């Protein structure tokens, strides 16, 4: 998930997240959609947030298998990101809170693309319903600005498949709900409430 304007510093207000953080609220909603179930957390999901709003870019990794303190509300999620942004971001990952790590780096520096299929979610892509989506795939989304030509060139170089979740331009967090739902439906439920075990891409 790329946050083109998302601040790389912790000095934003939890009282006005959209107005002071370069739209970290969008990233918070994406985190909610990626992880939060009615009664739990999707432990088999990893999310990588690219924050570019000031100075060198930072990446925050949320790792479902050991993620703690995540609640459905945006304020709590933003507070977790704030903590991660208060740490010194180096070239290696630094742990912030359980399941949350931060490092310096941008989209091009992510090692998760080395394995599995990469999907670039874009309105004019191929309909995801007709595609054999890999359970261990990596899905890349833009924010309210979208991805730049340079980002698209990186994804093209990785052989990313361009995938659409429908004919209308949606909010990024809604796209994540649709992809999770599609993957849920393709999996044989392990118990009456469903659930799935997908390989994670964690590299810490």
Ligand X SMILES: C[S@@+](CC[C@H](N)C(=O)[O-])C[C@H]1O[C@@H](n2cnc3c(N)ncnc32)[C@H](O)[C@@H]1O
Q: Which residues bind ligand X (CB under 6 A)?
A: 121-123, 125, 141-142, 144, 146-147, 164-166, 168-172, 175
Nearer to ligand X, 168 or 191 (CB): 168
Q: Which residue is nearest to ligand X (CB)?
A: 146
User: 88 vs 149, which CB is nearer to ligand X?
Assistant: 149
In the complex, what is the shortest distance from the CB of residue 181 to ligand X, in angstroms, rounded to a whole number? 14
Nearer of residues 175 and 183 to ligand X, judged by Cβ: 175
Least distance to ligand X from the beta carbon of 90, Å? 29
Question: What is the nearest approach in angstroms of ligand X to the Cβ of residue 166?
Answer: 5
Complex with ligand X: residue 105 or 142, whichever CB lies closer: 142
The minimum distance between CB 130 and ligand X, in angstroms, equals: 14
Q: What is the CA radius of gyration of the chain?
A: 16
């Amino acid at each position: 998930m790329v946050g083109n304007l998302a601040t790389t510093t912790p000095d934003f207000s939890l009282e006005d997240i959209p107005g002071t953080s370069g739209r970290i609220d969008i990233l918070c909603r994406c985190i909610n959609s990626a992880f939060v179930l009615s009664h739990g957390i999707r432990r088999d999901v990893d999310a990588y947030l690219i924050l570019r709003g000031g100075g060198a870019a930072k990446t925050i990794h949320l790792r479902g298998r050991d993620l703690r303190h995540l609640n459905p509300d945006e304020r709590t999620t933003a507070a977790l990101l704030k903590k991660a942004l208060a740490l010194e971001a180096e070239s290696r990952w630094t742990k912030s809170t359980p399941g949350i790590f931060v490092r310096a780096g941008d989209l091009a520096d992510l090692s998760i693309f080395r394995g599995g299929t990469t999907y670039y979610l874009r309105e004019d892509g191929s309909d995801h319903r007709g595609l054999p989506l890999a359970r261990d795939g990596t899905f890349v989304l833009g924010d309210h600005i979208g991805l730049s030509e340079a980002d698209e060139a990186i994804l093209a170089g990785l052989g990313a498949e361009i995938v659409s979740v429908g004919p209308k331009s949606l909010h990024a967090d809604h796209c994540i709900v649709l992809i999770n739902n599609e993957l849920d439906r393709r999996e044989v439920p392990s118990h009456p409430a469903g659930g799935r075990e997908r390989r994670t891409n964690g590299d810490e």
